[in-house]
Amino acid sequence: MLAAMSHLPAGAAKLTVDELASRVGMTVRTVRFYAGRGLLPPPERKGRSGYYGADHLARLELVRELQAHGFTLAAIEGYLERIPEHATPQDIALHRTLLAPWMPDLPETLDRPSLEQRAGRSLSDDDIEVLVGLGIVEPTPDEDVFRVAPALVAVGVDLVDLGLPHDAVVAAQRVFTEHGRAIAEELTEIFRTQVWPHYREQGEPPERLQQLVERFKPVSVQALVMAYESAVDEAKRDTVRRSGRRPGRRR
């Protein structure tokens, strides 16, 4: 992506809409649809023709990345609204650099035997239903063929094995998803506004920041686990205080 942009400096307008669509693997109709939704700034006009530059290319690459990670059109619009119109192609590419390490793996398409092999055991229809509710498995029009988030299968099977009610599992997953996405967005904003300017002043390339984010991810996961455990302990103490009992004291 960054290498491709080096041939289209910021401010340049060298691509027709057909060439732009070809570069990002979209149809011209799709590109025009996104432009109509305000996801792209207007092209540079020369006569009756419009020409697109590196900023348009970078924004469409970001749109495609967000789509691949399951963002809805409304979510994509909200995400791009936070990117200034004067942002350089490198600034826009930075969003992709920061986005990928925090997002789950892209889905794989697996048949049921392959899914069970990945799970390490056979899966009943009820098990599959729970995994679907968790968002780890998504049915396809083909029977017994699924789109699967591979990195989450083991976690999903562990939740199934707990024997929790289906509604409770789905409700818990909704909490994980909502708060997990919020944490990822807030950490991304910290890197974008505080870390990236520091590295850019030192002349470091975006690839260096991506390496930092990738190394920071497991550390942050451990920090979140510790924060969660601490919060659970505090919640237990609050519950005891509200009930008027002390830990270890029996009625």
Q: Specify the length of the chain in residues.
A: 251
Both 85 and 121 in one domain: the answer is no
**What's residue 1's pLDDT?**
35
**What's residue 247's pLDDT?**
53
**What CATH number should be reported for the domain holding residue 56?**
1.10.1660.10
**What's residue 144's pLDDT?**
86
pTM for the complete prediction?
0.49
Spatial distance between the Cα atoms of 88 and 80, rounded to a whole number of angstroms:
13
Where among 93, 120, 154 does a domain terminate? 93
Both 123 and 61 in one domain: the answer is no
Both 4 and 50 in one domain: the answer is yes
**Based on the structure, what is the number of domains in the chain?**
2
Both 117 and 148 in one domain: the answer is yes
**What's residue 251's pLDDT?**
46
Both 36 and 86 in one domain: the answer is yes
- pLDDT < 50: residue spans in the chain: 1-12, 251
> Which has the closest alpha carbon to 125: 149, 147, 144?
144
Residue 207 falls inside a structural domain: no
Residue 198 falls inside a structural domain: no
Residue 26 falls inside a structural domain: yes
Residue 30's domain comprises 1-93
Residue 24 falls inside a structural domain: yes
**What's residue 111's pLDDT?**
93
Both 28 and 69 in one domain: the answer is yes
> Which has the closest alpha carbon to 217: 184, 246, 173, 250?
184
The DSSP element (H or E) to which 186 belongs, if any, is: helix 166-190
